[in-house]
Amino acid sequence: MHHNDNDEGMDAWLKERYDKYTGWFDRGEIDYSSKVIPVRESFRKEQWVLPTAQVINVLKSSELIALTDCVCRSHYKRCDNPLDVCLLLDGFGQKFIEKGLAKQVRYGEAVSILKAANESGLVHLSLYRPDRNLFALCSCCACCCHDLQLLIKFGKERLVCHSDYVSATDTDLCSHCGECVDRCVFGARSYSNGEMTYDPDRCFGCGLCVTSCPAKATTMEPR
């Protein structure tokens, strides 16, 4: 993960968001801005229970789910990843619907949106604010997402909480094709001299490496 661990180079839009979250941190109002959620498809069936329950409980316990465009990708326009991936929950979603900025979707539609986002290589993040607790689930790219930019480019590691899982690779099964390296936005995997190397300390547990592994050599394990 390459970063300079300071604010130099932040544009005004990113700096404004970082300063807002820094205030919440300093006042003890939040523990982190977002938390990585592993993609459901990255788990073998017997391993689905906890991570699937985490996502399903959030969506199923919500009185309302609204779909809106990702504000980060809409602002930066740095990639061709899908925009309509941000799921807003309950009262927060209702406000966006009333303003004409979001539409209500059913649970099944929300799951389909998360699956399509995984196929695009996007990281699932649950988003937090002090007045709303968990208020949204978004699928994020490293080039536009404010949290991932602040983490990866500027070393603001307290913003993003890793998931409860970490990936593990069976070196006997690994074909060293490099697919997982291309999918990992956190710099946990690298490829050189025909071999893939993996640093689990950099893994945030998103599961994107698992769903892209043609040899099925990579799995998700509890931390």
pLDDT truncated to tens, each residue of the chain (223 aa)? 444 556 678 899 899 988 887 888 788 887 777 777 776 544 443 333 234 446 667 788 899 999 999 999 999 999 999 999 999 999 999 999 999 999 999 999 998 898 888 889 999 888 877 765 778 888 999 999 999 999 999 998 888 888 888 999 998 999 999 999 999 999 999 988 888 999 999 999 888 998 889 999 999 898 8
Residue 125, beta-bridge partner list: 36, 138
Using CA atoms, how far apart are residues 102 and 129, in angstroms rounded to an integer?
A: 19
Quote the pLDDT of residue 54. Answer: 62
φ and ψ at residue 115, rounded to 5 degrees? -65, -45
Quote the pLDDT of residue 118. Answer: 86
Q: How would you classify the pairing of strands 34-37 and 160-161?
A: parallel
Angle between helices 107-119 and 49-60 (to 10 degrees): 130
Nearest 5 degrees, angle CA 141-CA 147-CA 150?
A: 105
Quote the pLDDT of residue 178. Answer: 92
Structural domains for the chain: 12-161 (no CATH), 166-222 (3.30.70.20)
Quote the pLDDT of residue 44. Answer: 42
Contact 81, 122 (CB under 8 A): yes
DSSP 1-21: ----SSSTT--HHHHHHHHHH
Whose tokens are 């909480």? That residue is: 161
Using CA atoms, how far apart are residues 191 and 100, in angstroms rounded to an integer?
A: 46
Contact 113, 119 (CB under 8 A): no
Using CA atoms, how far apart are residues 105 and 20, in angstroms rounded to an integer?
A: 30
- Composition of the chain by helix, strand, coil, percent to 5: 35, 20, 40
